[in-house]
Amino acid sequence: MTSATNRVAIVTGGSGGIGRASALRLATDGIAVVVHYNSNRTRADETVRTITEGGGRAIAVGGDIADETQATALFDAAERDFGGVDVLVHTAGIMPLAPIAELDLDVFDRVQRVNVRGTLVVDKLAAQRLRAGGAIINFSSSVTRLQPPTYGAYAASKGAVEAITLVLARELSGRNITVNAIAPGPTATPLFLHGKSPELIEQIANSNPFGRLGTPEDIAEAVAFLAGPGRWVNGQTVFVNGGAA
């Protein structure tokens, strides 16, 4: 396992809430970070600037993670600029909501393309290119257990992410690479807050014993653990939701 100061992480969705917090948190451990973005280059550049101004190492790389050629460019950039890849943190995803009876199948297909195919593409590349001692951290969601209405397409995609994660952990036997999924609960990110009334947000926040939404930084702490010292956690879906029932 490479030392923390020589480790390199790719964070997909690194311009978003949990992705950005994860990139910043990993950088505090001395890990070089490739900050991936799809459309928000400005936000990704801000994340890189925050890391580098703090003495860390980071670059921004754009692309569609469900496109194997564009996703490959992430790994190429990590190897070119930092010498290799040790950690994949795959936070990128989309979450359009609708009751199943009203669900547009084109929207369903888009969710599966980004969330399921995207996971399979980056996990495939990570399985080929991560160094020994590495970690693959996918993102599921607590909605797979909480089953809230309107989340059918999203929950289906995250159930698939969990299956991919557990199978890959076993396929990488002997490689000294851990593969886990983090399943956040309701977290105060733009993706989660969009379209929700203050009353609904308060109701959701009160569904866990802490009486608040999670923060991206709460989730980033779990990422840092699995990316670093959590070597005996493997093939698991880790629920990081404050005890939401």
Output the pLDDT for position 3.
59
What pTM did the predictor assign?
A: 0.94
Low-confidence ranges of the chain (pLDDT < 50): none
Structural domains in the chain?
Answer: 4-240 (3.40.50.720)
Q: What does the block give as tokens for 160?
A: 């698939």
Nearest 5°: phi and psi at 238? Answer: -100, 115
Cβ–Cβ < 8 Å for 92, 65: yes
The bridge status of strand 87-90 relative to strand 178-184 is unpaired
Residues with a known catalytic role: 154
Q: Residue 192: what pLDDT?
A: 80
For residue 199, which amino acid is it? E
The whole-chain average pLDDT of the chain stands at 95
Tokens found for residue 16: 């978003």
CB-based contacts of 239, cutoff 8 Å, min separation 6: 142, 145, 183, 185
**Any residues with CB less than 8 A from the CB of 144 and at least 6 apart, and which?**
155, 158, 159, 162, 183
> What confidence score (pLDDT) does residue 196 get?
85
pLDDT of res. 16: 85
pLDDT value, residue 190: 80
What pLDDT, on a 0 to 100 scale, did the predictor assign at position 73? Answer: 97
